[in-house]
Amino acid sequence: MKKTKKIKIKINGKKKSIDNDSYLLKLINDLKIPIKKVAIEFNREIVDKKKIKKIKLRNNDVIEIVHFIGGG
Amino acid sequence: MIKEKFIIAGKKFKSRLIVGTGKYKNMSECAKAIKLSGANIVTVAVRRVNISDKNKPLLMDYIDPKKITYLPNTAGCFTSDDALRTLRLAREIGGWKLVKLEVLGDKKNLFPDMIETLKSTEVLSKEGFKVMVYCNDDPLMAKRLENVGASAIMPLAAPIGSGLGILNKTNIKIIREQTKLPLIIDAGLGEASDATIAMELGCDGVLVNTAIAKAKKPFDMALAFKNAVIAGRQSFLAGRIDKVLMGNPSSPKKGII
């Protein structure tokens, strides 16, 4: 069986090893993040949620996922 | 009583008290205090989702953004770039255009960096944001913010979280005289009477977080601030008497036996 190549990405400041050619949307769904309540930044660019399906992850990609919390 | 409206960027609000959602013991305490305060607008911060602990309670589960207007802020940003990045992300979460800009300049006193603040206000306004700007109580800077498209001027009463109350009433009055924009006292209030003073100076509203969240009884303080803002506004609209040096008897002098 062919072993899937792994890549390293950074999500919210933490390094994570995932399969090469994974989709960003799958990663977010796997993490059980409610996509409607967050904003996503992909390599410093804001992700248009309508187009997120097309985004594939590559080595060294940097993802930030933010939401609202209590603040003054 | 005069019926009058509190309008920010074309949107009408009932309450002139805006409250922060930070520093509470937990989300349910925060939600209850907000309810008691009667606030229609709450400030919220933009932060990373905790990806390792998915069971952490979400703010939106406690405070319904359909019922209460979320005012995303840039608390903790020290540069214009950070503030712009934060608010663009906030807008992406769900179309928030009404935002609170806060660019800090010093980690100890938390005073705003007005040069970065001015730059950010201009950029954000051009991008279609309705920017409520946290600023110094400096009339000249307030004017410049207005000139670059601010939707509300929010001068500090005193340093954030200090509880010192309004330190420079004269400057607040001067800013009131020069602007028709909503003028909201933001930061530094310590007790309910501070809010009354702000409203009596002619401010359109006040923004309070720490004074309620860190009061010994946050729920009672939320209610106290609600009443204080109403009292201050009514007092302002009622028109105070002139100040005179000498006494002036309240009872008629005529007919004294």
Domains and CATH numbers, chain A: 6-66 (3.10.20.30)
Bridge partners of residue A42, in order along the sequence: A45, A63
Please give the mean pLDDT across all residues of chain B: 94
| Chain A residues within an 8 Å CB radius of B210 | 72
Q: Are B74 and B44 in contact (CB under 8 A)?
A: no
Question: In this predicted model, what pLDDT tens digit does every residue of B232-244 receive, in sequence order?
Answer: 999 999 999 999 9
**Inter-chain touch A67–B46, beta carbons under 8 Å:** yes
Domain that holds residue B171: 6-238
Q: What angle do helix axes B114-126 and B139-147 make, rounded to 10 degrees? A: 20
pLDDT reading at B107 higher than 80: yes
Is residue B26 assigned to a domain?
yes
Q: Can you say how many angstroms the Cα of residue B195 is from the centroid of all Cα atoms in its chain?
A: 10
Is residue B248 assigned to a domain?
no
Paired tokens of B125: 């306004």
Residue A19: per-residue pLDDT: 87
Closest CA to B189 of B176, B177, B205, B202: B205
Residue A26: which residues within 8 A CB-CB, separation 6 or more?
A: none
Q: Is A37 on the interface with B (CB under 8 A)?
A: yes
In angstroms, how far is the first alpha carbon of chain B from the final one? 39
**Domain count across chain B:** 1
pLDDT reading at A3 higher than 70: no
Residue B52: per-residue pLDDT: 80
| Chain A residues within an 8 Å CB radius of B27 | 70
Residue B111: which residues within 8 A CB-CB, separation 6 or more?
A: B104, B105, B136, B156, B159
**Inter-chain touch B44–A71, beta carbons under 8 Å:** yes
Residue B3: per-residue pLDDT: 64
Q: Give the whole-number percent of chain B exceeding pLDDT 90.
A: 86
Q: Give ipTM to 2 decimals.
A: 0.90
**Inter-chain touch B93–A69, beta carbons under 8 Å:** no
In angstroms, how far is the first alpha carbon of chain A from the final one? 54
pLDDT reading at B1 higher than 60: no
pLDDT reading at B123 higher than 90: yes
Section B18-36 average pLDDT = 94
Section A26-50 average pLDDT = 91
- Please calculate the CA angle B137-B118-B132 and round it to the nearest 5 degrees: 70
Is residue B245 assigned to a domain?
no
Residue B139: per-residue pLDDT: 97
Is residue B246 assigned to a domain?
no
What span, in angstroms and rounded, lies between the C-alpha atoms of B201 and B172? 7
Question: In this predicted model, what pLDDT tens digit does every residue of B75-92 receive, in sequence order?
Answer: 889 999 999 999 999 999
Q: Contacts by B224-228 with C-beta closer than 8 Å and gap 24+? A: B224/B191, B224/B192, B225/B17, B225/B19, B225/B37, B225/B192, B225/B195, B226/B15, B226/B17, B226/B36, B226/B37, B226/B38, B226/B39, B227/B192, B228/B192, B228/B193, B228/B194, B228/B195, B228/B196, B228/B199
pLDDT reading at B207 higher than 80: yes
Q: Are B13 and B40 in contact (CB under 8 A)?
A: yes
Least-confidence region, from B3-17, B25-39, B44-58, B117-131: B44-58
Residue B189 or residue A71, greater confidence: B189
Burial of B61 (0-12, 13-18, 19+ CB in 10 A): exposed
pLDDT reading at B127 higher than 90: yes
Q: Is A68 on the interface with B (CB under 8 A)?
A: yes
Q: Are B102 and B134 in contact (CB under 8 A)?
A: yes
| 3 state DSSP class of B35 | helix
Locus of tokens 């608390």:
B75
Closest CA to A37 of B57, B68, B254, B100: B57
What span, in angstroms and rounded, lies between the C-alpha atoms of B20 and B42? 5
Residue B176: per-residue pLDDT: 97
Q: Is B28 on the interface with A (CB under 8 A)?
A: no
What span, in angstroms and rounded, lies between the C-alpha atoms of B194 and B197? 5
Q: What is the CATH number of the domain that holds B160?
A: 3.20.20.70
Question: In this predicted model, what pLDDT tens digit does every residue of B50-63 receive, in sequence order?
Answer: 888 777 778 888 99
